[in-house]
Amino acid sequence: MLLNIPVLNKVMSVMAIKKFDANVVLEQAINTFWQYGYHGTSMQQLLQATGLRPGSLYREFESKEGLYLLALSRYAAATITTVNKRIEGSSSVLDGIKSILVDLFEEAQAKDYCGCFLVKTQLELSAHNESILTNVSEEFAKIEANYCTNLKTIFSDEISVHYSKQLMLVIFGIRVYSYQAEQPEDVEVFILSILPWLKEDFA
């Protein structure tokens, strides 16, 4: 295989091909970190999960922390994409948001449920690594801004800002409350009782 990457007027050829797909490896790393946390995950676990040897993993990702940061930003990007796809695929913005919240509750019924990677990172690492805290906060700000943008197609700017704050708080609440045993009898009713404006559907 010849890649023909022009670098400084030269043509580089690749003499050995990577045996692994970095995207797949990242996905596996996300799942491991997500479940066990940063300090709770050992390199051994990551090597096992990815099937890589230490040398290869370090050549590609620099360090455990480097791998974690990449996993984190990958996860954050996927989150926003998922939200928007869900809203687009719904009959209305409010219906989309409502179904996102209902799903959060229902995901939590899975026995391997492990909450939100961003939230877990925030709580675990806020005391260790200020830059990660900033990093995660920025991602949450993006997510909130994204909800706000969607709400502005229905509500005034002021109300959209307010509702998107409520939304974030409730999402965080669901993310933690879901760990507790049983689901409310009717999840949708419960959500609408906290965020009644989700009922008014301007579709």
> Binding partner of residue 1 among a second copy, DNA, none, CB under 5 to 8 Å per kind?
DNA
Rounded distance, CA 168 to CA 144, Å? 7
Rounded distance, CA 203 to CA 201, Å? 6
Please answer whether residues 116 and 175 qualify as being in contact, where contact means their C-beta atoms are separated by less than 8 angstroms.
yes
> Binding partner of residue 192 among DNA, a second copy, none, CB under 5 to 8 Å per kind?
none
Reduced to 3 states (helix: H, G, I; strand: E, B; else coil), residue 5 is strand
Pick between residue 63 and residue 137 the one whose CB is nearest to DNA: 63
Which residues lie near a second copy (CB under 8 A)?
Answer: 35-37, 39-40, 114-115, 119-120, 122-128, 133, 137, 140-141, 162, 165-166, 168-177, 179-181, 184, 190, 193-194
> Binding partner of residue 17 among a second copy, DNA, none, CB under 5 to 8 Å per kind?
DNA
Pick between residue 179 and residue 201 the one whose CB is nearest to a second copy: 179
Pick between residue 61 and residue 163 the one whose CB is nearest to a second copy: 163
> Phi and psi (nearest 5°) for 100?
-65, -45
> Binding partner of residue 161 among a second copy, DNA, none, CB under 5 to 8 Å per kind?
none
Chain-centre distance for alpha carbon 129:
19
> Binding partner of residue 16 among a second copy, DNA, none, CB under 5 to 8 Å per kind?
DNA
Residues 37-76 touching DNA, rule: CB under 7 A, are: 41-44, 52-56, 58-60, 63-65
Which amino acid appears at position 123 of this protein? L
Rounded distance, CA 181 to CA 183, Å? 7
Chain-centre distance for alpha carbon 74:
8
Options 16, 110, 127, 189; binder of DNA; rule CB under 7 A: 16
Contacts with DNA by CB under 7 A: the residue count is 26
Pick between residue 54 and residue 184 the one whose CB is nearest to a second copy: 184
Lookup: tokens for 190: 């419960």
Is 127 among the residues that bind DNA (CB under 7 A)?
A: no
Pick between residue 39 and residue 111 the one whose CB is nearest to DNA: 39
Side-chain-side CA neighbours of 198 within 13 Å: the count stands at: 21
Interhelix angle 64-88/43-50, rounded to 10 degrees, is 50
> Binding partner of residue 177 among a second copy, DNA, none, CB under 5 to 8 Å per kind?
a second copy
Reduced to 3 states (helix: H, G, I; strand: E, B; else coil), residue 46 is helix
